[in-house]
Structure 1
Amino acid sequence: MAGGRRVRTGSSALPPPALKMAAITMRLPVARKAVGPSAPRGGEKHLVAPGDTITTDTGYMRGHGTYVEEEKLIASVAGAVERVNKLVCVKALKTRYNGEVGDIVVGRITEVQQKRWKVETNSRLDSVLLLSSMNLPGGELRRRSAEDELAMRDYLQEGDLISAEVQSVFSDGAVSLHTRSLKYGKPVPLSDREVISRLRNCIVALVTQKLMLFDTSILYCYEASLPHQIKDILKPEVMEEIVLETRQRLLDLEG
């Protein structure tokens, strides 16, 4: 008894509401099963390191990045195994370009030599473009003369970008290129690419503003866009301004 009141004690007594605690769920650590590498698309492609055995099947043909030892096909580089029918090769994860006949490449002229240009193609050795392996300006097909040799820097000079096709591969791995087709040769210069880009954006602006496309409207729109940068032509406010000027010039033309 305390102060005329009986105090009840014991384990059955509940704690005051303020002392109640929220329930917490806890998980004990458990050993997880080791997860093997997921099978890549294609099922058979996998990564290998130099010296790894790719297959012991003698029916496969050896491709790039592999060699045969004790009747085993072994990887010589680190990369992904690729199979095309019976041909097995390893595509290196990071490597220099190894040219193959028929490849189409983009390279940069690094040096003008006698009857040839040296071309950087991200290969181990500089590639070569012979004077006899390129189309002359105008697409002429004739024997190269001494005058052509003297004018080589007029055709291609240091720093020029070219597209070409691999004609042959030398024994040391160097690549010989040719540009005998009209689809190969010196890429379009920056000034021409800028004109093409500006025309494209002007046509988009005219279409967006629902103005008819014909040679005069495109020309007027192009001229109206010249004070602006090419990328700004597609901004709504710039587009509206140049098309409005184009529409006004067309109205003035009609009288």
Structure 2
Amino acid sequence: MSLDEKCLLADIVIDNSQDLIHTRRQVEQVVKELSDERNHSVVKTESDSSAKYVLPGDEITSDQTFMRGHGTYLSTLNDDKQLMASIAGVVEPINRLISVRPLRTRYNGEIGDVIVGRITEVQSKRWRVETNARLDSVLQLSGVNLPGGELRRKTAEDEVLMRNYLKEGDIISAEVQNIFDDGSLGLHTRSLKYGKLGQGILIRVSPSLVERRKNHFHKLPIGANMILGNNGFVWISQVIAEGTESGGHVIDFSDIALQERETMARLRNCTLGLAKHKVMLNDTSVSYAYEVSVQLGYQPKDLLMPEVVAVIAEQTKLRLNEFEGMDLN
């Protein structure tokens, strides 16, 4: 081998070594980011204090009595089959079934979920709805309420008038009725509490931060209504009088008072601040954040500053921990 060839081979070896060092540094950076996210993750309780975070390729267990769930696979490299993580997330064991819940993901709907979505297309006998999922959801004409809550078989005339009910750009609340074979969701708005939404603010957060509860429609004592959609879409609006639900067929477009607009803006900024700091969203946490922002004398516009949001989130976590401690006692 000539001297030039030896020098060329040495350069290749050096380049490959540098690439390996660079790749290792990238992996270490990802692990550090996930560790930081874990440290600033949702408010910890007794049930999630021992949560196990994994990266793709990490071993979860070698016990073969466990069943493989979403986000896992069986390694066949060794004689002993090991259950490995295929995604980065939190290990969630349910009896003998082990799954990994991803830290960041699109919405994976379940039957009975309450969602907030936007109409994207009007098709034959159905609407396409953007729900933060991998595929657009479907709202069938047979799954909506007619004006006045009338229940009857839909006719060809109803199909012609579909755009009078819902059109592109309309915001709706609905419930997941079924899941199709391709993974898309089937929706319905047969209850008068669902349907077209009027004036309000729509914000988007991670679906994993919305806590699953029996009720996702909240009339907050601060003077605003909030719908915490399981799909990560949150709707904030003015207070609606009890018993005036119309399924979205009667909408009040009158001017909203300045005080109510300020309340909605403050609530919107508090909700986004909690989501940024990975605090689970429910009516309690959002109300606490709102009250803390008022007590500390911040204006709604101040809640857009990162340092202020950090203070609000930290104080909210402390109040939630105190509240959970009282429940345990």
TM-score, length basis structure 1? 0.57
Instruction: Please name the residue that 2:240 is paired with.
Output: none
Instruction: Please name the residue that 1:55 is paired with.
Output: 61
Task: Pick 1 or 2: higher relative contact order, CA cutoff 8 A, min separation 6.
Answer: 2
Could you tell me how far apart the structure 2 residues matched to 1:151 and 1:127 are?
21
After superposition, give the CA deviation of every residue in 1:33-65 in whole Å (9 maximum; x if it has no partner).
Answer: xxxx89986354211122222122233333322
Residues 1:230 and 2:240 are matched in the alignment: no
What's the % identity of the aligned pairs?
58
Instruction: Please name the residue that 2:23 is paired with.
Output: none
RMSD of aligned residue pairs (Cα, Å): 3.4
Instruction: Please name the residue that 1:91 is paired with.
Output: 101
Asked whether the equivalents of residues 101 and 168 of structure 1 are also in contact (C-alpha less than 8 Å), the reply is: yes
* Structure showing greater Rg: 1
Could you tell me how far apart the structure 2 residues matched to 1:232 and 1:183 are?
23
* 1:152-231 aligned within 5 A: 152-190=162-200, 229-230=258-259
1:64 to 70, 92, 98: 70
| Letter of the 2:258 counterpart | Q
1:135 to 145, 151, 157: 145
Could you tell me how far apart the structure 2 residues matched to 1:122 and 1:232 are?
26
Could you tell me how far apart the structure 2 residues matched to 1:150 and 1:54 are?
55
Could you tell me how far apart the structure 2 residues matched to 1:44 and 1:62 are?
21
Q: 1:232, CA displacement in angstroms? A: 9.1
Residues 1:116 and 2:126 are matched in the alignment: yes
Asked whether the equivalents of residues 45 and 83 of structure 1 are also in contact (C-alpha less than 8 Å), the reply is: no
Unmatched 5+ stretches in structure 2: 1-34, 201-218, 225-254, 264-329
| Letter of the 1:229 counterpart | L
Q: 1:118, CA displacement in angstroms? A: 0.4
Structure 1 231/115 Cα, relative in aligned 2: closer, same or farther at 3 Å?
closer
Could you tell me how far apart the structure 1 residues matched to 2:138 and 2:174 are?
11
Could you tell me how far apart the structure 1 residues matched to 2:184 and 2:113 are?
13
SS state at 2:173 partner: strand
TM-score, length basis structure 2? 0.45
Could you tell me how far apart the structure 1 residues matched to 2:131 and 2:97 are?
26
Q: 1:75, CA displacement in angstroms? A: 1.8
Could you tell me how far apart the structure 2 residues matched to 1:129 and 1:141 are?
17
Could you tell me how far apart the structure 1 residues matched to 2:105 and 2:187 are?
20
Q: 1:72, CA displacement in angstroms? A: 3.0
Could you tell me how far apart the structure 2 residues matched to 1:62 and 1:170 are?
23
Decide which structure has greater helix share.
2
SS state at 2:147 partner: coil
Q: Which moved more, 1:79-88 or 1:160-169?
A: 79-88
- Corresponding residue pairs, total: 168
